[in-house]
Amino acid sequence: MDSLSNRERNNALNEVRILASIDHANIVQYKEAFTDQQKYLCVVMEFADDGDLYQKITEHRKKKMRFEERQVWRILIAIVKGLYQLHNMSILHRDLKSANVFLYSDDGGPQTEVAKLGDLNVSKLAKQGLLYTQTGTPYYASPEVWKDQPYDSKSDVWSLGCVCYEMCALVPPFRAENMDGLFKKV
């Protein structure tokens, strides 16, 4: 903790507070947090035994293999359920991307959750409905975020669409050689 800037320290503590307040089947479960020698913030989270969606997309791309439609729908529905819960609590994820969708082994049962949202360190409570700070990952950022305009939960929905596209096409929907080119495409 001592090597972090105030902003980074506040982001870390914010993630812990948000995680501790959420109990939902499609959001990675917070277990506990503690400081080790007052130097390290340790956050104990539920273990995602099947990695993250970005890893799976990369594996599928290397093998030139698409996700099965059933799998796309199960993952997408799980993400939507988690995002719906966050938005009902007036929490914006602000960094929804395939690397922040964590996967779980599918035992074939109807109640098996296959995907959960995680990495909420840039999440923010939307107390007055709109946020202004630019954050998140460029490939998934909404036009409002790119233009430094106020945004709301619809920005997370834009990112969700980008993740869904990436799952189906195995590449992000907007690609460019540099940030300026990516801005123009978005």
Q: Of these residues, 95, 106, 107, 180, which one is catalytic?
A: 95
| Catalytic status, residue 95 | yes
d(CA 100, CA 104) in angstroms, rounded, equals 13
3-state secondary structure of 79: helix
Give dist(CA 95, CA 167) in Å, integer.
17
- Taking the C-alpha atoms of residue 16 and residue 2, their distance in angstroms, rounded to an integer, is 17
CA atoms within 13 Å, Cβ hemisphere of 152: 8
Full DSSP string of 99-124: GGEEE----S-TT---EEE---TT-E
Amino acid at the residue 139: Y
Residues serving a catalytic function are: 95
